[in-house]
Structure 1
């Protein structure tokens, strides 16, 4: 490294911190983050406040960011927003997101942290379909494998899909379950037949309110489960993470440790998918 590299001023764009990073880039990211967080054009004063820097300093960075296309200035309002290059970078990142890849490491962490089997499901042609499991030695769950299809009304996994997906996708499956005819591949159950349409709507509203679904033997008398949604950058449901265990062993209360940990891990995956509350 050149002797003067480590002492160049921040505004010169060449200073490096002790860890080898470029301070000017870190500062520019603070400015960009302020634009991302708000989503609407910001005045120089408001942007500087959010980036926690003086307006003259923020302005110097904005000049360079606008020149590169990472930011742009609205001629009418004078405010600053993300530029075309920033938008292209965001779209490129979205195209590379994959819920299976993003959630995979979390499943293993959940299994190890909670001691229960964790699975990831996506919406498939036959309905809620598990695509990955991280299993414990629970004999009740060893039969579960990728490709297993869950009913909507009597599995915690299915209830999350039912709560967040459009009825244009879920309607025909719900009709079959309420009529006692599970969709192909799903585990047969007659429990759904005892539900009214109003009860179904109330069930889904409860899932949305708590951002979590739970079952206690609804599908399998010896099996309890908790499920949380995974959202993508647009706020759409991308998948569902479920932890499951034998009755008497797993606590499925919404204020219990399992629920708290699962909710936190699910939100982490959603954020990696580009979601923001």
Structure 2
């Protein structure tokens, strides 16, 4: 049973009305004059002023002594910092990927950056009877997968270069031992040089999303969108995977837009700056 809090709990309308002024201040991200704040909150300046006086007494806002513009106060900053400390990216993203999988009809996973690379920590299976399955704990290849390249595009270059060299060493070892020759599987391409890999990473950053088309398993595509925290650092990859015939891998297709919207919603909860 789902409980609608808005319907079952009684609120205080004046607080909700005044809250629109705080929302306007946060949304604009800069000090604002009273008349501009009031306009954004769809009220008169005369109505807005008493709210700002009370917010000032609480420390939620403060007023510049020279310009008279309003900005967030010390209490608002403390609340924001505490909220960021309490925010758990995976916990925030998990219910969203369940809804996303139902909407796009593909399996969706959350990946975090681990010691060996991008690693699956949550999975929401596609509602379709036939779908591509993923497993918790799977580590995505840095160079051959959408999730791997996504982290490669947004992590510190020194970390990515170190992982690239580790991937090259592992690939050489597998090739030497013959373990990469699996019946029915195409031979894996060599690990690219850094300058070639940088071209791929630039493409990811340019589109704000990463994709893979049949690179690991023929006929299976994937796309991955980044989640950022309040410092602008990548925290998660939200990745969709599915059969090529029913998987829209266009850079600006509906699936890409849905992935970006989901990732942006999580980033917003983490206080990420607008991109």
TM-score by length of 1: 0.82
Aligned to 1:46: 36
Q: Cα RMSD (Å) of the superposition? A: 2.5
Q: How far apart are the structure 1 equivalents of 2:216 and 2:131? A: 12
TM-aligned CA distance change 1:140 to 1:152, over 3 Å: farther
Aligned residues: 254
Q: Is the 8 A contact 2:214 2:221 kept in 1?
A: yes
Q: Tell which deviates more after alignment, 76-85 or 58-67.
A: 76-85
Aligned to 1:97: 87
Q: Which has the higher contact order (CA 8 A, sep 6+)?
A: 2
Aligned-pair distance for 1:190?
A: 3.8
Please state if 1:23 is matched with 2:13: yes
Q: How far apart are the structure 1 equivalents of 2:22 and 2:92? A: 24
TM-aligned CA distance change 1:78 to 1:256, over 3 Å: closer
Q: Is the 8 A contact 1:180 1:190 kept in 2?
A: no
Q: How far apart are the structure 2 equivalents of 1:139 and 1:127? A: 28
Aligned to 1:71: 61
Aligned-pair distance for 1:254?
A: 2.1
Alignment of 1:111-122 (within 5 A): 111-122=101-112
Aligned-pair distance for 1:276?
A: 4.4
Please point out which of 170, 191, 209 is paired with 1:181: 170
Please point out which of 174, 194, 206 is paired with 1:197: 194
Please state if 1:145 is matched with 2:135: yes
Unmatched segments (≥5 aa) in structure 2? 1-8, 174-178, 181-186
Please state if 1:130 is matched with 2:127: no
Aligned-pair distance for 1:182?
A: 4.8
Q: Deviations over 1:159-203 (max 9, x none)?
A: 1101111113222112233x363599xx9774243x343332221
Q: Deviations over 1:214-269 (max 9, x none)?
A: 11111222421011111222322110011111233322122333222222222222
Q: Tell which deviates more after alignment, 222-231 or 243-252.
A: 243-252
Please point out which of 200, 208, 230 is paired with 2:205: 208
Secondary structure of the corresponding residue to residue 181 of structure 1: helix
TM-aligned CA distance change 1:255 to 1:36, over 3 Å: closer
Q: Is the 8 A contact 1:180 1:192 kept in 2?
A: no
Aligned to 1:164: 154
Q: How far apart are the structure 2 equivalents of 1:207 and 1:24? A: 46
TM-score by length of 2: 0.83
Q: How far apart are the structure 1 equivalents of 2:39 and 2:190? A: 54
Aligned-pair distance for 1:140?
A: 7.9
Unmatched segments (≥5 aa) in structure 1? 1-18
Aligned-pair distance for 1:99?
A: 1.3
Q: How far apart are the structure 2 equivalents of 1:241 and 1:266? A: 6
Q: How far apart are the structure 2 equivalents of 1:96 and 1:182? A: 40
Q: How far apart are the structure 2 equivalents of 1:239 and 1:101? A: 11
Aligned to 1:218: 215
